[in-house]
Each structure stands twice: as C-alpha cells, then as structure tokens.
Copies of this chain bind each other. A is one copy, B any other.
Amino acid sequence: MSRERLCIALDVMGGDRAPDAVIKAALLALDKYPDTRFLLYGDERRIAPLLERHAGLKGCSEVHHTPDVISNDEKPSVALRKGRRSSMALGIMAVRDNKADALVSAGNTGALMAMSKILLKTLPGIDRPAITGVLPTKKDNCIMLDIGANVDCDANNLFQFAVMGDAFARVMLGLPSPRIRLLNIGTEEAKGNESVREAAEMLRTVGNGLNFCGHIEGNAIAEGAADVIVTDGFSGNIALKTLEGTASMCVSFLRDAYKSSFLAWLGYLCSRAALRKFATKLDPRLHNGAMLLGLNGIVVKSHGGMDETGIANAIGTALRLASNDINAKIVEEMERSESALYPEA
C-alpha cells in the first residue's frame, strides 16, 4: 500500500452473517494489512462485545453507533427515504467526507447503489456507475462489468464501462494493457444488438490507450480470452450467475461420483490434497468484492452470504483500489478517451 494508514469504513450490519462475520473479517484483514484503520458503523451494543475480545482491532477502530439497518428485501426507494441514519448510509457519508478511503458493505445491493449515487455522485464523464466483479477463468482471473446495476445500456454507457474496466484491471489484475472485449453472441462485427455494435465502433475509433480486442462469446469467458468483459447489467448478471451455478453443479456432480462406490471414495482420499486446489480455484470467497465503479468514492460490495474470509477479501480489494487511487486513473483515462473520440471539442 502506497499511502500509510488507509481507513476503511465498514457497514457492520450488512450481510446475512452480520455483525459477527464483518468484525471477524476486519480481524483477518488487519492481520494481513496491519496498518489499516477502521470506522465501524452499526449497533454499538452488538459491536462492543465483539471488539472486547480483540484489543488489536479495537485499538485501530472507531465505532459509530446507529440502530438503523437496511434490510435485504428493502426496496432502494424506501431505503433512500428511511435509511439516512443506517449503517450503510453513514459508511457512504464517511467516504464522501474523506473520513474513510473506501466503504465495504455486504448489505442490500440496490440500496447501496442508489444511496451511493446520490451521496457520492458519479465521476466526471461517467453517466452511470457499474458493478464490477472478478471471475475465475482457465488462465488468470478476468473482470466483468456491469454485473447488475444497469438493465438497459446504450453504446455510451458500454464505452464508459470499458474505460473504467481498463483502469480497474490495471489495478486489480496488475496488467499493463488489459484485453478488453464486448460480450456478444458471436465474434463477427455485425453480431449483437445496436448498443454493442456501436460501442465496438467507438472502442475501435478511440484506439489509443485501450486494448480493444473485439467481441467475446459466453463460452470464451472461462477460456480467459479477455481481461475485461464489458456488457450491460442484464446479460452480465446472467453470465456471472450462470457461471457460479454451473461451477456449483460440477462440484455437486463430482461429489456424487465419489460417493457412488467404495473404490471411487478411496480414489477421492488419494486425490484429496490435489482436489482442494481444484476447489480453491472455484471458491467464490476468493473472488468476492465487487466495486461500484464510476462513483466519486470507493464502494466495494461483498456478496451478502459471505463469511469472514469472503468479506476480508472484499476489504483487501478496497485497500488495493484505494492505495492505487483507482478513481484518479479512471478520470484521466476518460479525459484521454474523450479527446480521442471528439478531437474538435
């Protein structure tokens, strides 16, 4: 981490296993990044006893009490009206007011996005924020955006996602020139809907700086054919969740196969250590932490069902993005791309 003592705001009440899993995640993250400070937003009566057991964490944390929690089934519109004093809203305000370098929340995604848009606003040149996730492939991880925030996207939105995804992949995957592709139903130029075809044209035009490699089909995601996969939030969400569901199905088939005979079980015992590596590659906890990219501040969303390991990974993501000043990179790339696209302006 380049800056000293980065500060992470935590929505301690967000997620299915809150507050325990969030506090334990902070402990795990502190172990790995001992210079971190935390602002803990949530119910003090529940947080205090958890902190009592961990003097190290207590020493670098400030607890900000609020009894208000946004539940998982709350509609974003209701959350906006009623949730002004919720742990989630206070966490976002901490980022807005530069008290924290990033927020991590495992709470309601729709509410988190709606509140973040209003409290943080979008970055210059960005019309809509996109949720950006990390996916496993046969080779290295890749990133995909949008994975659920924007159901309908025009070419401009997709173009901006590509610019933001490029910056994100440079930071998170450490790539000097990430291969950007548009998710489509064929690799030919004429394939797909109008937004995708127009965005491809824009990405080809802008050239300079962005390594646009054309379209990618669903089956090539897992092949590792792209580092950044750009798509609308409807298709992206479906692709991501289909990937997760299929991986889980494969593990389930495998488990059934091993249980089908004594010999198969014996084989499992022999291969167990190697199979653990297989399972690790597919472990969703290791890919946890989706950034709400395009906002004036860093907001990382953990999957709601995650345990402390998963949430700790989301905290790690937030620290990496903050220490690399991801948003400055996006603004810079956006300016360069705009002047390449509209040289007369």
A residues engaging B (CB < 8 A)? Answer: 75, 136-138, 148, 151-152, 183, 185, 190, 192-193, 217-223, 231, 233-235, 237-254, 256-258, 260-261, 263-264, 266-275, 277-278, 281-282
Contacts and interface: CB of A to CB of B under 8 A. Distances in A.
Main secondary structure of the interface of A (DSSP, over half): helix
A272 B271 CA distance: 12
A321 to B, nearest CB: 24
Contact of A257 (B75, B136, B223, B271): B271
Contacts of A151: 185, 192-193
Contacts of A266: 267, 270-271
Contacts of A269: 267
Contact of A245 (B75, B222, B231): B222
Contact of A242 (B193, B246, B263, B271): B246
Contacts of A254: 254, 275, 278
Given A218-B241, A271-B271, A278 B253 contact: yes
Contact of A219 (B75, B138, B223, B242): B242
Contact of A193 (B190, B234, B268): B234
B263 A270 contact: yes
Contacts of A256: 278
13 contacts: A151-B193, A185-B234, A218-B241, A222-B249, A239-B239, A242-B243, A243-B246, A260-B274, A263-B271, A266-B271, A267-B272, A268-B271, A271-B271
Contacts of A243: 218, 242, 245-246
Contacts of A238: 183, 185, 217-218, 231, 235, 238-239, 242
